[in-house]
Structure 1
Amino acid sequence: MACLVALTIAVVDQSTKALAIAQLSTRERIPLIGDLLGLQLAFNPGTIMSLGSGSTWVFTIVGTAATIALFYAAWRVTTTGWAVALGFVWGGAIGNLLDRYLAAPRFGRGHVTDFLAYGNLFIGNLADVALGVGVGLGIVLQLLRTRRHHAATERAGGGDSLQ
């Protein structure tokens, strides 16, 4: 399941980036929801808001390590919910890592293609959205797991309630 989700995310991400390169401009923003969300092409050597622009090679190494770790985690996951969450994160990581390896200016130091302009804050892409969705889903799954564990502990009489 995680592999299918990751593959789908990576293919959709790379397809939308190719479309953005073909259709959008780095100078002109196309509003979608007023000034809140628009389309504008950008090439990001760093992370969110171009942080670490001079360290593109570091992000390539970190992204490669994360992608390998997520591959390993995908084989160990035992529930569909966690498989989907991991798949979103893994697919987002792969989508941006492909840019790091294959995009200009050169192999391993490529700039990530961004096109979703969030007001005047930053410009991102669908891989970034997938990363956020996967992390958010993981947080929700962990909170639900913790809640179920506490409820089971209370039912078993092992609670720490003061009486």
Structure 2
Amino acid sequence: MKAVTKLGIFAYLLAALVVALDQASKFWILHVFQLPLKVTVPVAGPFHLTMVWNRGVSFGLLRADVDLTRWALVAFSIIVSVFLAVWVRKAGRALTAVALGLVMGGAVGNVVDRIRFGAVADFIDVSRLWFPWIFNVADAAITIGIALLLLDMLMQEKQGQPVAQKDAI
């Protein structure tokens, strides 16, 4: 098996940082600030804190109110994270490594919540910017990571390089 590239190691460290930031922010919201459920607290401008428990996937989509669905989401997230961890071992581009590190870290951060609480703690509320969902650090990392991964693929295609050539499994 090929050794992990420096970019792969960077992606693993970034994923660990995302998990740490995500879990630290959730600890602060739940145990230090003790934000009550569905109470909105203004922070600055359009940024508010509103505590909700998300039983679905990112941004509350595909609700998982049944325990079997919760564990299916846990299993799916772990499988995706392992797939990405294998993929990023051979990362040859920084943008790929950053994107995959963000997605892996976000997925693991939300898996921790599903295992511990049965749902994901969401609290970042920017609905005053016409963004209707309440989310967390892990959701933001996943979203940014996917956007960067799409950008990376578009950049490869623009350069005439097949997308799967360099960083595919």
Structures share fold, TM-score greater than 0.5: yes
Aligned length: 143
Note if contact 2:51-2:122 (Cα within 8 Å) is conserved in structure 1: yes
- Structure 2 counterpart of 1:39: 49
- Residue by residue over 1:113-162, the C-alpha shift from the partner in whole angstroms, topping out at 9 and shown as x without a partner, is 11112328221100000001101111111111111117xxxxxxxxxxxx
2:92 to 72, 78, 82: 78
* Same amino acid, percent of matched pairs: 28
* TM-superposed deviation, 1:85: 0.8
1:19 to 20, 28, 32: 28
Structure 1 unmatched ranges of 5 or more: 104-109, 151-163
Rounded to whole Å, the distance in 2 between the matches of 1:10 and 1:21 is 16
- Structure 2 counterpart of 1:61: 75
2:119 to 99, 108, 111: 111
**1:33/1:50 Cα in 2 relative to 1: closer, same or farther (>3 Å)?**
farther
* TM-superposed deviation, 1:50: 5.0
SS in 1 for 2:92: coil
Name which of structure 1's ranges 116-125 and 58-67 shifts more when overlaid on structure 2: 116-125
Rounded to whole Å, the distance in 2 between the matches of 1:43 and 1:31 is 19
2:108 to 57, 76, 94: 94
| TM-score, normalised by the number of residues in structure 1 | 0.80
| Residue 49 (1) aligns with residue 60 (2) | yes
| TM-score, normalised by the number of residues in structure 2 | 0.77
